[in-house]
Amino acid sequence: MIQTNKDKLVMISVQGTIVKPEHSGRHSVGHAGEIFMVPGTGGITYNIKVGDPAFGWAADHVEPGVSTIADQEKRTSGPNRGYNFYACIGNEARIVSGDAKGATGIVTGHHGGAEHVLIDFPDEALEKLTLDDKVLIRGFGQGLKLVDYPDIHIYNLDPGLFEKMNIEESNGELLVPVAAVIPGMLMGSGVGSTSIGTGDYDIMTSDRKALQEHGLMNLKFGDIVLIQDHDNTYGRCYRKGAVSVGVIIHSDCKYAGHGPGVTTIMTSSSGKIKPVLSLEANIAKILKIGRFRQNS
C-alpha cells in the first residue's frame, strides 16, 4: 500500500450555497467565428452528471450536477477562495437547509474563473434543492503527501479516493489508471496560473482532427486523465518530461483556447507518474456516483 500522511491531515468545514446561473443574454463568438447563445455555468443541472460525455451538449462550460459557491458577489474574496481550496474531489458534502436537508453528495471538482465547487447529489435531493439552500463540505485532502515519492505532489484529492484509484508502484514510479492521455500542446486557458488548489485548466478543442487522433472525443465528466509535458507543482507550465494528472470537471467550450476543464490532482516534474489506460478510470465509476449511482 502506498504510504501517505493522511493521519496528519486536517478536516475543516466550509459552507456554500447554490450558484445562481448568470448570462449576458447576448450572442458570443466561438473559435471558428461562429455565433452562439447557449446555457453556461451555475445552478442545478438536472440532466448532466459525472459519467456523461463532456462533448456534444448545446451549452458552453456546462457543469454537471450542482454548482456551489461561498460568495457569488465576491468570487475572489478570502472566504470564497477558502471554500474552493478546502473542498477536494471525493469529499462529502451535506445539504444543511431546506427540504433536501440531510442529503449527502460528493465533490467532483472546482472550476476556476467561475470559482465554483461542483457536487454530485442523488436525484431525489436535486428535486428538493433550491437556489437558496446551503451545503456543508468536510474539506479534507489538501496537504496530502506520498511518503516515498517526494517528487510527486498531490492536490485537491480526498485520501479515500486516492486509495480507490488502483494506483500501483513500479521501480520508483507510480502506475496510474487514466481514461486518456492529453498531449501538452492541447492545454490552453489556465496555463501559467498558480491557482493549482482552486481551479482548473482547459483542453483546447478548436482542432477536432487532433482530438480524434489522440482519442479524446469520448472524454466524460469525471474521467481521470494524464497530461504530458506539463508540470503543476508550483503553477501550470510546460516542462518536457513532466506529467500531471487531473479530473474532467466541465464540458467542451466554444471560445478560443478553451475546452473540457481539468482539475489537477497529481503532478511530477520528473515524470515519476506513468499512465495505464483504463475504461474504469472515472470518479463516477470509482465512487458509484453520477451516472453510476444506484437508483440515480
pLDDT tens by residue, 132-141: 999 999 999 9
The reply to whether 295 falls in a domain is: no
Same-domain check for residues 279 and 191:
yes
Q: Which residues are paired to 16 by β-bridges? A: 135
pLDDT of residue 153: 98
Of 104, 110, 111, nearest to 129 by C-alpha is 104
Q: What average pLDDT does the structure give for the chain?
A: 96
Rounded average pLDDT over 72-79: 92
Residues 6+ apart with CB under 8 A from 201: 112, 187, 188, 189, 190, 191, 193, 236, 261, 262, 264
pLDDT of residue 295: 63
Same-domain check for residues 125 and 188:
no
- Cα dihedral 23, 27, 28, 33, rounded to 10, equals 160
| Strand blocks (E) in 114-192 | 116-120, 134-139, 152-154, 168-170, 173-178, 180-182
pLDDT of residue 284: 98
For the chain, what is the domain count?
2
Q: Which residues are paired to 184 by β-bridges? A: none
Percent of the chain with pLDDT over 70: 99
- Strands 92-95, 104-111: pairing is antiparallel
pLDDT of residue 296: 47
Model confidence band, residue 274 (pLDDT cutoffs 50, 70, 90): very high
Phi-psi region of 108 (alpha: psi -120 to 50; beta: other; left: phi over 0): alpha
Percent of the chain with pLDDT over 90: 97
Residues 196-210: tens digit of each pLDDT: 999 999 999 999 999
Q: Which residues are paired to 117 by β-bridges? A: 68, 110
Same-domain check for residues 124 and 172:
no
pLDDT of residue 122: 97
Model confidence band, residue 175 (pLDDT cutoffs 50, 70, 90): very high
Of 118, 139, 160, the position where a domain reaches its end is 139
Q: Which domain holds residue 17?
A: 9-139
Residues 110-167: tens digit of each pLDDT: 999 889 999 999 999 999 999 999 999 999 999 999 999 999 999 999 999 999 999 9
The reply to whether 101 falls in a domain is: yes
Rounded average pLDDT over 214-231: 97
Residue 293 phi, psi dihedral angles, 5° rounding: -75, 135
The C-alpha cell at 260 is: 473540457
Q: Which element (helix H / strand E) includes 229?
A: strand 224-231
